[in-house]
Structure 1
Amino acid sequence: MKKTVYFAGSIRGGREDAAVYKRMIDYINMTDIVFTEHIGLESLNLKTRTKEDDVHIYERDTEWIRTSDVLIADCTNPSHGVGYELAYAEARNIPVHIFYDKSKANVSAMLNGNTRFKLYPYEREAEIYPVLDNILGNK
């Protein structure tokens, strides 16, 4: 049975890793369902939105998290929103798996010290995909 995945990555906090997000999302989508495919889009609209737009995003995304089997995040680029999503998933007992490029980031002690979060530092992007297979049970 296909798993439903909420993929979290920085949007307003910076898009430097969008291409990595896209490749991760495409890889997960080969076997499972990613609710947040838009996170990997290079053309993601970052214009200032209205409060109503943000309310819609909050309501949609929290619903997606609640209905996900797992949350997978790339936290190389710090993001307030991603931090919120991780805590939201944790509060609902949804497994959280966090990737980060250790040559570019030093993750927060709040993430690294949380024994409920699984962290996967990587040096090369190729290291990500076998771990995703293990997380999703595809190996």
Structure 2
Amino acid sequence: MQDSKVVYFAGAIRGDRSLANVMREIVEFVQGLGFSVLTEHVIADDPIATFASKIGKEKADLLAEDVEQQDIAWLDQATHVIAEISGASTGTGREIEYARAKGSFGKVSAKVLCLYHTEWEFFASPMVRGMTSDRYPNVTIRSYADVMEAKSSIKDFLEV
């Protein structure tokens, strides 16, 4: 297990799940490199139920506050955040921004990699894609034409 790097994966859970198989391949690839992924529930068939179970709750009892508090706790632990931003998502942008800025308010700094499929560029938020490394040195934005290209970007990002 890779000890020094803690990975948080962000992707659409309630939004567009069209690329769920790509997200699964990405998370499994990161795990195969020896990293644990705090948010592996994102790739489950029912990510909300899996999340609820992970924090000791039933899906029907899960509150918005539970999600926000747990995700922030995991983001606070993360040294690396990988986000698949091709599809519409209700929370991925907030996760990216929190991870990007958390070092400035006394939390462990995190590097952020945002990935989007070249065929889905229109749907990937320009607010995220427009984050350039000269203005946001801990953020990297990469497009990919296929999963192999995404995996190559991830290896570079995780320095393996």
Scaled by the length of structure 1, the TM-score of the pair is: 0.88
Counterpart of 2:142 in structure 1 is 120
Displacement of 1:44: 2.8
- Map of 1:104 onto structure 2: 120
| Residue deviations 1:14-53 (CA, integer Å, cap 9, x gap) | 211111111110110121110000101123347xx77852
Cα separation, 2, equivalents of 1:42 and 1:18? 9
Unpaired runs of at least 5, structure 1: none
Q: Can you give the 5+ residue segments of structure 2 that lack an aligned partner in the other structure?
A: 50-58, 104-109
Separation in structure 1 between the aligned mates of residue 7 and residue 75 of structure 2, nearest angstrom: 8
Q: Is 1:82 the equivalent of 2:84?
A: no
Q: Answer whether contact 1:19 1:42 (CA < 8 A) is retained.
A: no
C-alpha separation between the residues in 2 aligned to 1:50 and 1:43?
Answer: 13
State the identity as a percent: 26
- Which of 106, 124, 129 is equivalent to 2:151? 129
The separation in 2 between residues aligned to 1:11 and 1:119, in whole angstroms, is 21
Report the Cα offset of residue 60 of structure 1.
0.6
Pair 1:112–1:44, CA change in 2 (3 A): closer
Of the candidates 75, 78, 82, which is equivalent to residue 68 of structure 1?
A: 78
Task: Letter of the 2:31 partner, please give it.
Answer: N
Aligned-pair CA distance for 1:59? 0.6
Q: Given the two structures, how large is their TM-score scaled by the length of structure 2? A: 0.77
How many pairs are equivalent? 136
